[in-house]
A and B are shown apart, each in its own frame.
Chain A
């Protein structure tokens, strides 16, 4: 079973600053890695897939990088609407399984 570990659990950032979130896989997932944003009371929203491809409508201040076991989501200049929880998710080829990280909360400093 592939385990996804996100760090830090909480990230305190001032508006306009840069935020860097990490996600580590217990074994290689190639680039089968997605990122989601979730605000309280809402369903998750897809931000990135294929480790570095922004989903439709996602602002360019969001970027993703990494492959294998180490991945990063960067928000270049935090806006008020970016304060939320962020989850990474991997897909394993066989047997097909999907695993989420435990999440990172990005809060206002």
Chain B
């Protein structure tokens, strides 16, 4: 059973960097069969894709966030991370990590439960 679990501070200050980690069990992030990504959802709003990576295949970011986002992976811990710099209140959201590729290489099939990050001083 594939499981993804987000973790990280629930509060970030404006202008600082938001950092989250997604721990994966039941699957390997170094598998070339799947991609891994981050999606966020501001309170009461819709879903926004942040970025996707696949092992040995590159990392791709939402153009609107590209200048502030970094996704990295730690295969020794089977986890991947999100860093979003220069945050503002507009970055307040539930952040989800997800896997792509069980059914189709480009759809999100397994999701973490999500973690709320509030940007406030």
Contact = CB atoms under 8 A, between A and B. Distances in A.
Interface string B36-64: 01010000001111001000000010110
Nearest to A32: B106
Interface string A24-54: 0000000010101010000111100110010
Interface residues of B, number: 22
A95 B107 contact: no
A20 to B, nearest CB: 20
B94 to A, nearest CB: 9
B106 A102 contact: no
Contacts of A87: 46-47
Interface residues of A, number: 26
Given A46-B103, A89-B108, A100-B48, 13 more contacts: A32-B106, A34-B104, A44-B47, A44-B108, A45-B111, A49-B104, A55-B103, A56-B103, A96-B52, A97-B49, A97-B63, A99-B49, A100-B46
Interface of B: 37, 39, 46-49, 52, 60, 62-63, 96, 98, 103-104, 106-109, 111-114
